[in-house]
Amino acid sequence: MINLKEKIRARSARVGVIGLGYVGLPLAVEFAKAGYRVLGIDILPHKVSAVNRGKSYIPDVPSDKLKTLVSKKYLEATSDVSRIRELDALSICVPTPLRKTKDPDISHIVSSIEAVAQYGKKGQLIILESTTYPGTTEEVLLHALQAKGHKVGKDFFLAFSPERIDPGNPRYHTRNIPKIIGGMTSKCTEIAVAFYESVMDKVIPVSSTKVAEMIKLLENTFRAVNIALVNEIAILSNRMGIDVWEVIEGASTKPFGFMPFYPGPGLGGHCLPVDPLYLSWKARLLDFEARFIDLAAQVNGHMPHYVVDVVSKALNERGKALNGSKILLMGVAYKSDVTDVRESPAFDIWKLLSQQKAKVFYHDPYVSKIEMDDQMLNSHPLNSKTLKQFDCVVIVTNHRVFDYDSLVKGSSLVIDTRNATKAVKNNRHKIVKI
């Protein structure tokens, strides 16, 4: 019988990816490009259909490349979880959101591993990539997989490898971002490293699944805490009449001991608003208060309120009230040049403005439709004529395709939350920065 390492070496291992979102689909494509036969599994029929038609819904995955892999039968998608029995190695890349109580929701992980436990076969490699609290792989996945009496490191191999995808990043993508691997046993780590080394530029083994899980949370907590710090500095600088962007630019000239972070309208995406709270929740179970994490969440969560306060003050100085004003939000995606609107601060800003009776619209070239208050709304057309209809334009997302010169020239007031208009030399009286 051919063992798994030999199958990996020969590219004859059948690979599966559960969850075909911003992490899973690019990962499936990388394995397919490396010569593996890949099966993508997702519960959403429209994603399965799109993949099988070679139509990408992820900006980082060009449709032409996806279509080629599908047509050559290196990649296919299904909603049939029973096909897990066909696989030799599979990566779980499912969402891990928060509940309304801000506690972790790992229900997608649980349902995925239950399917693996039901339909899996001996000798499989299972790797969890979904961000979660330290201990999940051991406490949830291992328990489910050993329920049949199978032994980890012998009958199956289990590891955790944190996803590090940065959607829209032109420099770093799935293949060239160093890959952390932590296995339940040394054999698990060995097999998982061999598997990912066949497609990734650099793989870094660590001592355990818990260490690998904690690495991911440290990375994102580091960013969230530092963004909170600079958000506070931005508010303080504003009150002191200081340009915080010039301060950051100046501080960045120091070649050691400083790393630039930038203020904004609030945190968005799946990672930064969510992941640190997984660690905070775990800390509470251990009777430990993660004060930096909780304070950072409060500061960053307040930023949409601060943006609305800036809008209200700027309108008031021009003799207008929020009530009845027409306001255009430029960009509702959570970051530049992506279609992803998860946890976007644009929605918090929208709701706060609407509560003040403002009339809110949006424009986003990457997001044609959004759902707000059970209504489907379309991106507002943008040109010099439509810009003049608005009392205020709020730049929420700094898409590179935006023409900020035209935006400033055509608008009576621009609230710039991203320093997007830094190249505009004229009409400074129209621009208010946070």
Name the packing angle between helices 291-317 and 345-355 (round to 10°).
50
Is residue 278 domain-shared with residue 352, that is, in the same domain? yes
pLDDT value, residue 426: 53
Tokens 């559960």 belong to which residue?
18
Mean pLDDT for the chain? 94
Q: Indicate the DSSP class of residue 86.
A: G
In angstroms, rounded to a whole number, what is the distance separating the alpha carbons of residues 24 and 19? 5
Whichever domain contains 260, its CATH number is 3.40.50.720
Unique residue bearing structure tokens 């809008």: 311
- pLDDT band with cut points at 50, 70 and 90 for residue 382: confident
228 and 273 co-located in one domain: yes
User: Could you give the C-alpha distances from 98 to 95, 147, 291, in angstroms and in order?
Assistant: 10, 27, 19
Residue 68 above 90 pLDDT? Answer: yes
- Other beta carbons less than 10 A from residue 109's beta carbon: 24
Domain end: 207, 241, 268, which one?
207
Picking from 207, 241, 256, the residue at the C-terminal end of a domain is 207
Whether 161 and 131 have beta carbons less than 8 Å apart is answered as: no
At 373 the pLDDT is 81
Would the pLDDT of 104 be above 80? Answer: yes
What is the number of domains present in the chain?
2
Are 136 and 237 within one domain? no
**Which residue among 161, 178, 207 closes a domain?**
207
Q: How many CB atoms lie within 10 A of CB 112?
A: 26
- Assess if residue 142 is contained within a domain: yes
Please check the confidence at residue 88 and state whether its pLDDT lies above 70. Answer: yes
Domain that holds residue 423: 222-433
> Does residue 238 sit in the same domain as residue 366?
yes
Share of the chain above pLDDT 70, in %: 98
Q: Domain check: are 233 and 346 in the same one?
A: yes
What's the rounded mean pLDDT across residues 9-15?
A: 96
232 and 195 fall within a common domain: no
Query: What is the rounded distance in angstroms from the CA atom of residue 323 to the CA atom of residue 321?
Result: 5
Q: Which of 13-22, 66-75, 130-139, 370-379 has the lowest mean pLDDT?
A: 370-379
Clarify whether residues 280 and 415 are in a common domain. yes
Residue 213 in any domain: the answer is: no
Same domain, 283 and 359: yes
- Judge if 30 and 135 occupy the same domain: yes
pLDDT at 149: 87
Q: Is residue 16 part of a domain?
A: yes
Does 217 reside within a domain?
Answer: no
pLDDT in tens, 262-319: 999 999 998 899 999 999 999 999 999 999 999 999 999 999 999 999 999 999 999 9
Residues carrying an active site annotation:
271
Indicate whether 307 and 408 sit together in one domain: yes
pLDDT at residue 2, rounded to an integer: 63
Three-state secondary structure call for residue 182: strand
Q: Which pLDDT band holds residue 425 (cuts at 50, 70, 90)?
A: low
- Average the pLDDT over 180-209 and give the result: 98
Task: Write down the pLDDT at residue 430.
Answer: 87
Strands 157-160 and 179-183: what pairing? antiparallel
**One-letter identity of residue 380:** H
Task: Output the pLDDT for position 384.
Answer: 79
Q: Is the pLDDT of residue 10 over 80?
A: yes
CA distances from residue 33 to 29, 191, 199 in whole angstroms, order as listed: 6, 20, 9
Place of tokens 């003050």: 313
- Examine the domain organization and report whether 372 and 419 are in the same domain: yes
Residue 26, in any domain of the structure: yes
Tell me, yes or no, whether 231 lies in a domain. Answer: yes
Tokens 């199958």 belong to: 7
Q: Are 384 and 406 in contact (CB under 8 A)?
A: yes
| Residue 417 placed within a domain | yes
pLDDT band at 1 (very low <50, low <70, confident <90, very high): very low
Are residues 155 and 27 part of one domain? yes
Is 215 inside a domain boundary? no
